[in-house]
Structure 1
Amino acid sequence: MGSLESSGAEVVTVDVHAAKDFIKSGCKYLDVRTVEEYKKGHVGADKIFNIPYMFITPEGRVKNPQFLEEVSSACNKEDHLIVGCQSGVRSLYATSDLLTAGFKDVSNMGGGYLAWVESGYPVKKPEAENVSLLPKPEAEL
C-alpha cells in the first residue's frame, strides 16, 4: 500500500513495535475506531484518546464530520500522536487528514489494534463497562 500523497502530506506508518516504544516514551495514542470497538478493548496506553474517524450508520460507514475539531480540542498540533484503528486502514486516512490540517508529528500504526493484540502487548478493557455487564446464567447463553 503506497502513501497518500494527494494531500501533499506523506503519511508515516510505523509498526506496532515502534508504536509501543513511542507510547512508552510519552506519545499520545489516538484510537480512531468506533466507541463500541474501543469499549471491547484498546491499546494499553497512559495517554489515550478515542475519537472515531467513522460512524457506523444504517446506510454504512460515514466519516465523523467533527473529527478534526475533536482531535484539535484534545491535542496540540505539535503533540506526537500515534494513530491506530482496528487493522490500519481508517488510521491511514485519519493520519493523512491530520497532517493536511497542520498536525506536525503524526504517525499511523500499521496493522492496528489486531497487530497490537497479536504481538501480545498490553490491552485495557474499560472496567466501568464490565461492571454493568452482569454474567448471564448458563441457561441463557
Structure 2
Amino acid sequence: MDSKPSLPVEVITVDVHAAKELIHSGHRYLDVRTAEEFKKGHVHVENTLNIPYMFNTPQGRVKNPEFMEQVLSVFKKEDPLVIGCQSGVRSVYATTDLLTAGFKHVLNMGGGYAAWVENGFGVTKPEEQIGL
C-alpha cells in the first residue's frame, strides 16, 4: 500500500545556533521575509538570498504566487537550505511548501531573525541604521 503522496511532510526545525553552524558548513540561507523587512536588516552570512513568501498589500499579507518559481530559478531541489523569517512562522510554511515540491534538504530556522539578533549573531543593516 503506497500512501506516501498523502502523508504530510515533516518540517525539521533547528535553533539559530544549529542554523548558524549549518550555514557555515555549506547550507544556503533563504530569508522569506518581505523585501521591506530584509532591507531593514538581515542575517549576516555569505550568499543570503531574499525571496518573500508573502507580500504586504492594502488587504494584508498575501502569499507570493511566484515563490516556488523564484526559488527554483536559484536553487536545485538537492541544495541544502536553511529557511528563515522574522519569528519562525512564515518559514515553517515556506519549508513545508518546498518539501512538498520535492526539495530534499530544507530546514526551518526556529525563532527566525529575531532569535538570531537576540543571540548576538552578525546582522547586516543599512548604513543609516548602524549605531541605533
TM-score, structure 1 normalization: 0.84
Answer yes or no: is the 8 Å Cα contact 1:91–1:108 preserved in 2: yes
Residue of structure 1 equivalent to 2:84: 84
User: Which structure 1 segments of 5+ residues have no match?
Assistant: 1-5, 134-141
Q: How many residues align?
A: 124
Counterpart CA distance in 2 for 1:46 and 1:30 is 11
Query: Could you say which structure has the larger radius of gyration?
Result: 1
Q: Show structure 1 runs of 4+ deviating over 3 A.
A: none
Counterpart CA distance in 2 for 1:27 and 1:47 is 10
Residue of structure 2 equivalent to 1:16: 16
The alpha carbon displacement at 1:47 in A equals 1.9
5 Å-filtered alignment, 1:118-133, equals: 118-126=118-126, 130=128
Residue of structure 1 equivalent to 2:102: 102
1:58 matches 2:58:
yes
Aligned residues with identical type, % of pairs: 68
Superposed CA RMSD: 1.4
Deviations 1:44-74 (Å, cap 9, x if unpaired)? 1102110000001000110000000000011
Counterpart CA distance in 2 for 1:90 and 1:75 is 19
Deviations 1:106-132 (Å, cap 9, x if unpaired)? 0000000000000000101245xx5xx
SS in 1 for 2:102: coil
Answer yes or no: is the 8 Å Cα contact 1:7–1:100 preserved in 2: no
User: Which structure 2 segments of 5+ residues have no match?
Assistant: 1-5
SS in 1 for 2:83: strand
